[in-house]
A and B are shown apart, each in its own frame.
Chain A
C-alpha cells in the first residue's frame, strides 16, 4: 500500500476528557516502576524484580486561536483544567500539573502537563485520539480561525506597560501519588470497582490515588528598554528619561521587602485577549493582583536594549 495516510498525526484529533483540542504536539507517557533486585541469592543474575506502581502523564503543546477554533485551543483546556485544580472537589483525571501561556510577536502558545493514574479505563477518557475532524475549524460553518498574534493581546506587567515583547504566566501544582492496601472485602481485579464511604475506586491495582499538594503561579516577561537623554546632560537618570528600567541611585526593579511588612507590586499583572468585542483574561480563574518581582535582568547589546524579569504571585 504505497499511499497510507494513517501514519500521520494531522489526520487525528486529540481529545482530553472527550474535549477535542487543536495541538501542535502531544504525548502520553505511561511507565511502571520496575527495578531488578539483587540479594545473596547464589547468582549474579536478576532473578527478582521489584515492580511498583503505574504512572501516566500527558504533555501538550497547543496554539492560542481566534475565531471558531478559539473553543478548542490550548487556553480552553488550560482554563477547564485550571478551574478544576483550584476547586479540587470538581477535579477529574487528568490533573493539570503545569501550564505555561506565552504571548509574543509570533503568537500565543500553551504548553501543559497533566497527570493521571494510568488506568486504561475508557470511562476516564484521559487521552484519546479520534478520526473525527475538529468541527470548530470549519471556516464556513464557523468564523474562520486564525492564530492569535501580538495585536490580539494586551498586557500590563506590574509597572511595565510599554514596549513589552513577551509575557508568560505559569501555573504549576504538585500531584502526589499515594498507594493504599486493599480494604477487606474489596474486589481486586483490574476492572471491578469498590465503593467505601461513597468513594469509588479500584482496589488491588497498581494505579495510584493522586493528591494535589501545592499550587504556584508565576510569570515572566521581556520588555524593550528606552533610554532618552531628554535634558542632554549625558545620563539617563532624570525624569522621563527611561522606560522599563530605572538606573538612578537607589532604584530597584525588584519588589523589595521591609521589616515586618509584606510588600507586593503596586500594580496588577494583566494578560488579556481580545475576543472581537471586548477584552478578557487569558486565565480568568487566576488572580494576578498580588505579586513580587524577584528577578530583573538588563541586557545591553548592540541591538534592542531589553529587560527580562520574573514574578511570583500570591494565590488567592
Chain B
C-alpha cells in the first residue's frame, strides 16, 4: 500500500500528518510512540582469518520493541478511550496479543540477511504485541499519564489498516488530571497524597527455535522470534504523601503485608484495587522543604489472578 507523508512525497512529516496508532482497531492519541523492529546485527571479531578486518556478519533474531506514552482521556461521551481500556486490560490480563497499526512503522517481514537492505519494506500490522510494562501516574496538579513498554512480532503478513480516528470521538475529549484521582485504604483515607502511580510489569521471554524438518513439506524460514511468553506478572504501586505534624505515627508503614487493606486508587472511573498490599518500608528523607514520604508496595494475589480479567483494574 502507499505511504502517507514523506515516505512518498517531499512533505515534512509531523505528528499531525502521521496522526497516531491503532490498538486492536481503536485509535490511540499518543504523546510519544517509539516502537520499531530491533535485531541483533553485528560482525564477528575474534576469528583467525588472515587479517583484522570485519569480514563476517552476525545477524540474529528480530522483534519489535519500544514504548508508548499517552494521556488517560475521557472522550466526549464520558467514556475512556477504547484503545486505552484494551491496553490496560491486556496489561493486567496478558493471555492474548494486541494488534498495532500505524501509518509510519515500516517493517521487514523477510529474512534480513537475504534481502538487500532497502528491499521489501512494508507497512504491516504488528499483530502479536504484548505489554511488557505499564505505568499510570499522576503528580500533584498534573495530568494522568500512561507509559507502556511493548514487545512483539508479526505473526501474519497483513497490510496495516490506515490509521484515522474511528469517529470524531477520537479527537474530542479531555485528559484526566489530579482532580480526577483519589486514593484510600482501610486504615487511612490518605488525604495527603501528592503523587500516585501503579505499575504492571510482565516479564516476557522471546525464545527462538530451529525450523522443523517435516518430510514432504516446505520449511518456513523466518528470522523473527519464535514466540512470546509471559513468565511473571507483578502489580505494584507508589504513593507520595505530605507528612503532617501529629498525624503520621499510626499511618507510617514499616513494611509487611496488610490483609484486606483494600488499597484503592481511582483515576477517574478507573479503579485500581490492591486487596493485600505487601508494603516496602517507607522512605522519608529530611528536607528543607516540605517533608514527604514515599510508600511502595506490591500486590499479593493468587497465582492465577492475572489469567482472569479485572483482577486489578476495573472500569466503573
Contacts and interface: CB of A to CB of B under 8 A. Distances in A.
Given A146-B113, A154-B210, A165-B207, A11 B50 contact: yes
Interface stretch (B4-12, B27-35, B212-220): B212-220
Contacts of A65: 56
A161 B52 CA distance: 40
A279 B49 contact: no
A155 B210 contact: yes
Interface residues of A, number: 59
Interface string B41-54: 00010111111100
Interface string B86-118: 000000000000000000000000010110000
A107 B222 CA distance: 14
Contact of B47 (A5, A22, A224, A274): A22
Interface of chain B: mostly helix, strand, loop or mixed? loop
Given A105-B61, A133-B50, 14 more contacts: A10-B47, A11-B52, A12-B48, A22-B47, A26-B48, A145-B57, A146-B59, A149-B60, A149-B113, A150-B61, A150-B210, A151-B211, A153-B211, A164-B210
B212 A156 contact: yes
Contacts of A283: none
B209 A10 contact: no
A13 B50 contact: yes
A144 interface: yes
Interface stretch (B223-231, B236-244, B287-295): B223-231
A137 B55 contact: yes
B223 A149 contact: yes
Interface string A114-142: 00000000000000001111100111000
Contacts of A26: 48
B302 interface: no
Contacts of B55: 69, 134, 137-139, 145
Nearest to A269: B213
B209 A165 contact: yes
Interface of A: 5, 8-14, 20, 22-26, 63, 65-66, 69, 103-107, 130-134, 137-139, 144-147, 149-156, 161-167, 224, 270, 272, 274, 276, 279, 302-304
A14 B49 CA distance: 8
B221 interface: yes
Contacts of A132: 50
B251 interface: no
Nearest to A10: B52
Given A10-B52, A131-B50, A149-B59, A66 B210 contact: no
Contacts of B13: none
B229 A162 contact: no
B205 interface: yes
Contacts of A155: 210-213
A219 B114 CA distance: 30
B231 A303 contact: yes
B58 A147 contact: yes
A9 to B, nearest CB: 5
Contacts of B210: 103-104, 150, 153-155, 164-167
B40 to A, nearest CB: 9
11 contacts: A10-B52, A11-B52, A137-B50, A145-B55, A146-B113, A147-B44, A150-B61, A156-B213, A161-B214, A224-B207, A304-B205
B307 interface: no
A133 B210 CA distance: 33
Contact of B49 (A25, A133, A149): A133
A13 B61 CA distance: 30
B208 interface: yes
A150 B208 contact: yes
Interface of B: 44, 46-52, 55-61, 111, 113-114, 205, 207-215, 219, 221-223, 226, 229, 231-232
A11 B214 CA distance: 43
Contacts of B48: 9-10, 12-14, 22-26
A75 B144 CA distance: 59
Contacts of A149: 58-61, 113, 223
B219 A279 contact: yes
A173 B59 CA distance: 34
B247 to A, nearest CB: 43
The 9 lowest CB-CB distance pairs between A and B, nearest first, are A133-B50, A146-B57, A156-B213, A137-B55, A13-B50, A161-B212, A154-B211, A270-B213, A154-B213
A146 B51 CA distance: 16
Contacts of B229: 304
B208 to A, nearest CB: 5
Nearest to A162: B212
Contacts of A105: 60-61, 207-209
B49 A10 contact: yes
Question: Considering residues B46, B207, B211, which has the most beta carbons from chain A within 10 angstroms of its beta carbon?
Answer: B211
A11 B231 contact: no
B222 A137 contact: no
Contacts of B211: 150-151, 153-155
Given A137-B55, A145-B56, A303-B205, A156 B47 contact: no
Given A22-B47, A130-B50, A131-B50, A147 B208 contact: no
Contacts of A130: 50
Given A22-B47, A65-B56, A154 B209 contact: no
A205 to B, nearest CB: 30
Contacts of A103: 210
A166 B57 CA distance: 21
Nearest to B223: A151
Contact of B46 (A24, A134, A162, A167): A24
B110 to A, nearest CB: 11
